[in-house]
Amino acid sequence: MKQLKEIHAHTLRNGIDHTKYLIVKLLSLSNISYARSLFDHQLIFPTTFLYNKLLQAYASHALPYQCLSLFSQMLSHSSTPPNTYSFTFVFTACATLPSSPKHGRAIHALFLKMGFRFDAFVFTSLVDMYAKSGVLEYARRVFDEMPERDLPSWNSIVAGYAKWGALAEANELFERMPGRNVVSWTAMVSGYCQNGRFEEAMEVFLMMEREAGVRPNEVTLASVLPACAKLGALELGERIDRYARENGFLRNVFVANALVEMYAKCGRIDKAQRMFEEMGRGRNLCSWNSMIMGLAVHGRWKEGLELFHEMLASGITPDDITFVAVLLACTHGGLVDHGWRFFESMEKEFSLSPKLEHYGCMVDLLGRSGQLDEAYALITSMPMSPDSVVWGALLGACSFYGHVEMAERVAEFLFELEPWNPGNYVILSNVYAASDRWDGVAKVRIQMKGNQMKKAAGYSFIESGGIVHKFIVEDRSHQRSDEIYALLDEVMANMKLLRYFPNLDSELENYE
């Protein structure tokens, strides 16, 4: 960089024009602002080639508005008409726009109006743009019109369907692909995970390893680790950790953060802390949030709050998620006064307006502390409508403290918000039963029967040999269910024996 500045200074002193060379070199160093300054102020005769180099830089660095502005400037100069490469870079930029895809459609129309012919790059960039923007109908139309489809175009359409939850269509296209690479597999893993289908995400990842022989990259690992966290698949998570270390992927902050979260949610808070410490200066706000949340969930509220203050001291500004973790720590510590102070500090000190989840945390904190009236008053003073989570937290507190009248009041709100959820009826029934209000129990059961409600069976996940098995109550679907139940019977028999003879071991030792 220093050498380029010296060359620039030399050209200015001696009237030599090396502007084109300097722009290309600056862009290779990703110094786009310096290159754009030279382009605007010192380049006398800009060329389509240089316009394209800048458009490409803006597109690859996810700067769509700057790319569109430069493209507009390019169109205003008749001496530098855009070519197919220009449009390809602009389509790529439009794919990263956070707003509606209207800009991409307008550029697409301009491309057709100017009479350009489609090639593989333009087709693929169009499919990618519409897919990432969620306009799957247009993406599929362009994809179907392609005379020849390359692997990137297949990956784009599959990833688009998967990202926006059209997983059946994504899977159908995935099965039809003439060839697959790590991007193809990662698109499916990520799509399943983003849409809450964690079992399928893990299955696809294991299939990729077992059958396809494709080596996962950083994006694959960051996509599958949340599934491990949700399913408690610690064994697979640890194997991914080893693989990431062997391949130098821990330098990727997304992989490292996903490992912190996975270990914390799988109950290995010690390993989560070790990973967090290993990150050192590579930590970002997400890293701190995951660690504070992990400590809070595991009841280590004091360490969680200490870490929060350490984060502030290091110059990291908290966000909404940070305060959810902090309030959760207060809940586990029963720190009502501290919780109120943190809640009020959000707006006063950090200009963060409390959201629904923060009110929910405070309701939970107050409810667990027995301050049910205060919790109810907070809900009724909220600037937004309370959801089922907020009311559910208070109903749970009513159940714990046996507050029948308030439970009835809260349950009515929940019945209106979630008429399909039998869990709320069950909790209210338990509140009645705990207070010997059997008429109330009967009334709730009649309501459930009238609404044709049944409580869904709970299920558990157990990981063995890198495979996650799902069990429901009295499940006999597993191929080794006879062995499983035989072992459970043996465990139960031993537990009953120890219940009646708690000092059996010591007595046997004395007898001997």
Residue 469 phi/psi, 5-degree rounding, is -105, 140
Per-residue pLDDT, 8: 47
Q: Check residue 42 and give its pLDDT.
A: 65
Residue 257 pLDDT level (bands cut at 50, 70, 90): very high
More confident residue, 372 or 19: 372
What is the per-residue pLDDT across 478-490, written as a single tens digit (0 to 9) for each? 777 788 878 888 8
Cα–Cα dist 352/211, whole Å: 48
Domain positions in the chain are: 189-278, 284-354, 371-458
pLDDT of residue 9: 54
pLDDT at 97: 86
pLDDT of residue 508 exceeding 60, the answer is: no
pLDDT at 30: 84
Contact 447, 481 (CB under 8 A): no
**Contact criterion met (CB below 8 Å) for 39 and 26:** no
* pLDDT for the residue numbered 298: 94
pLDDT in tens, 31-72: 898 888 888 876 778 889 999 999 999 999 999 999 999 999
Q: What is the pLDDT of residue 511?
A: 35
Cβ–Cβ under 8 Å, residues 380 and 366: no
Q: With 70 as the cut, is the pLDDT of residue 509 above it?
A: no
CB 264 within 8 A of CB 298: yes
**Each residue of 138-170: pLDDT tens digit?**
999 999 999 889 999 999 999 999 999 999 999
Scan for tokens 């491309």, then name that residue.
111
pLDDT digits (tens, 9 = 90+) for 66-125: 999 999 999 988 788 999 999 999 999 999 887 667 888 999 999 999 988 888 889 999
Residue 489: predicted pLDDT? 81
Give yes or no for residue 6 having a pLDDT over 60: no
**299-343 pLDDT per residue, tens:** 999 999 999 999 999 999 999 999 999 999 999 999 999 999 999
Q: Do 71 and 90 touch, CB atoms closer than 8 A?
A: yes
Beta bridge partners of 464: 467
Q: Answer yes or no: are the C-beta atoms of 95 and 132 closer than 8 Å.
A: yes
User: Virtual CA dihedral for 424, 426, 431, 437, nearest 10 degrees?
Assistant: 120
pLDDT at residue 469 in the model: 63
pLDDT band at 459 (very low <50, low <70, confident <90, very high): low
Average pLDDT of every residue of the chain: 87
pLDDT at 467: 64
Paired tokens of 93: 């930029």
pLDDT at 246: 96
Q: Which CATH class is domain 371-458?
A: mainly alpha
Q: What is the 3-state secondary structure (H, E, C) of 43-108?
A: CCCCCHHHHHHHHHHHHHCCCHHHHHHHHHHHHCCCCCCCCHHHHHHHHHHHCCCCCCCHHHHHHH
| CA distance from start to end of the chain | 83
Question: pLDDT tens digit string along 432-453?
Answer: 998 888 888 888 888 887 776 6
Residues 159-202 pLDDT 10s: 999 999 999 999 999 999 999 999 999 999 999 999 999 999 99
Instruction: Tell me the C-alpha to C-alpha distance, in Å, between residue 220 and each of 65, 217, 451, 465.
Output: 29, 5, 44, 21
Stretch 355-382: mean pLDDT, rounded? 96
- Mean pLDDT value across residues 343-361: 96
